[in-house]
Structure 1
């Protein structure tokens, strides 16, 4: 109930009664002041007010969803920045792991077999050279 509107309407009716108007004269005074609504207009006003309430509730839900999405976006952006910062600086564990990997490669390298070396000599003189005459 709108008390201000009702008080204004009551004042309008009192002013019309002071002029000795009939009930129809009071109705004309209300209509002339633009305070009268037909049943159709009144029903339309009720429907429109209900729609406004519905749209306000929808806007509120949309704003909450947007706020939640923006908050999640900020968290994701901050996490991405953290991960990129971690990726760009060497971590001591990674440096130690790199040293271990180098050591592992050194140890895994096959030791040169002296028999396969290009410098290997078999010194097979007896078969490689012609026989020396004795005598």
Structure 2
């Protein structure tokens, strides 16, 4: 119970005592004011309060999941908009002559390898490179 409720009940009991009521008379005054709770009603109230707390916690979890889903949808929508913009953007024109010209310039700028200096060069001298032939 909260303080405001307790103060109100205490005030009700004090007024009943001022009228020289017996303990039973005070109990009747409390019941008449609707302030009396049976053990069953108190248990039901406790159960309902517990259920309300569970539902509030569930709502909190649902709200967080909904917020995450909404954020994922926004990210997906933004990505779709980017892809749509790329799709509608005109492709750059390819100029094959300019590509060939560039390739020619790169080939011309490359150093020329002397075939005699190459690591793959072989003189193929016959005397010592070939196995001996037996004549017989």
User: Do the structures match in fold with TM over 0.5?
Assistant: yes
Question: Residue 20 of structure 2 aligns with which residue?
Answer: 20
Question: Residue 82 of structure 2 aligns with which residue?
Answer: 82
Q: Please, what TM-score do these two structures have when normalized by structure 2? A: 0.68
Number of corresponding residues: 98
Structure with bigger gyration radius: 1
How far the C-alpha of 1:29 sits from its partner, in A, is: 0.3
- What stretches of structure 2 of length at least 5 have no aligned partner? 101-136
Question: Residue 64 of structure 1 aligns with which residue?
Answer: 64
4+ long deviations beyond 3 Å: none
Question: Residue 5 of structure 1 aligns with which residue?
Answer: 5
Q: Please, what TM-score do these two structures have when normalized by structure 1? A: 0.68
The two structures, once aligned, show a CA RMSD in angstroms of 1.6
Deviation per residue, 1:15-72 (Å, 9 max, x gap)? 0000001111111000000000000000000000000000011011101111110111
